Structure 1
């Protein structure tokens, strides 16, 4: 029964990732070709999502933007998780002065609103979508550090950890063969639930001009370009907005299904 509950969300996520990866080959029109004659045409059979102010097909641009938007969000979560888990496991298992210092540093990061700090960091990088990814990852790692540290503290006093030490296993062996396999499930669930949040934060940075920049198709920057046309030509703004909504919903459903799966085990 548990497998059935997670099967459909897993299939949806897999299809979404495959679709995003091959998106440049699935666009019915050239995403950069301008045709002012058909500027701001409403949705029709020829252009399902209408055209933008330059006459570019919105459906093609939304599809093409999926690769940058989705895989950038995945990169943010991957960087946050790896950095946070490495620091959290190190602090939780070894403790000492390093643990105290690094946890106080994480407290400083957590004291500020994440998106506000990311905006400030992205402004320093000024390197397009790459800078936005680094900015979000650099302010998001403390959550994973705290989570993994807490899990390690509750795990390292277990009987099987003492048995591994008595058997002569090194610290590295204990971490990779005993501790990580027992905490990785909760880390993965948290990461999956963070993908949707990271996608929206990347879109927000691009909307503010701190992420992807035109003419690169990216959902946040596309919304920013057309925000003044919301009343006159709403399809130009709503098309990337709908794409963000659907993608975030799919990843959130998958994350919740994965959480229920691990809790039921």
Structure 2
């Protein structure tokens, strides 16, 4: 069975922003910003902006371009098309992924992906954010999580996410899992604390393919520029703090 855990984690990044209040208003006067991912080595990403929204994303290893994507948004600011235009292994490409978005008035209630995944959003709060996400997939795709319950603060930031999913462990055993993640934010709506719990319990840290380890508790702090955008991001785990990312805005 096809397994898409990394895709499930990342496919909402440029869709609805449930995890954090949008930075788009603060970014409206910038053409682009570059974020260095110090935690993952020599990787950096350049984000080109149009009216505060990311229109192009370029990923670099050291100074070498590895991939490039373009994003098209609908009138509500949700991504409706993603086009891969460059890949280090293939050169110039034109790989288009369309998202079919369905609304009830101005509320996004359904999103269909080209690869066979569908997300349904419901139980909206007063800010118009969904408290329930349900994921459905084609028979050859294994989606995780298949259901997610979300709570928000007064600013629309996610303060708790409860995910229900099924996965196969290294021994081939099928596990039904409940993952609860609690979040806290600073006065600029940037994440400062994560607390994770799993049923059944899991050993921390948890390795993630292509990403940093997940810890039970993670803490963050930031340095900001005069416009309120963060320029340095620090992470603390097990009592040790280290710089994980830098940003430059132009």
TM-score in terms of structure 1 length: 0.22
Greater length-normalized contact order (CA 8 Å, ≥ 6 residues apart): 1
Instruction: Mark the structure with the bigger radius of gyration.
Output: 1
Higher helix share: 1
User: Larger strand proportion, structure 1 or 2?
Assistant: 2
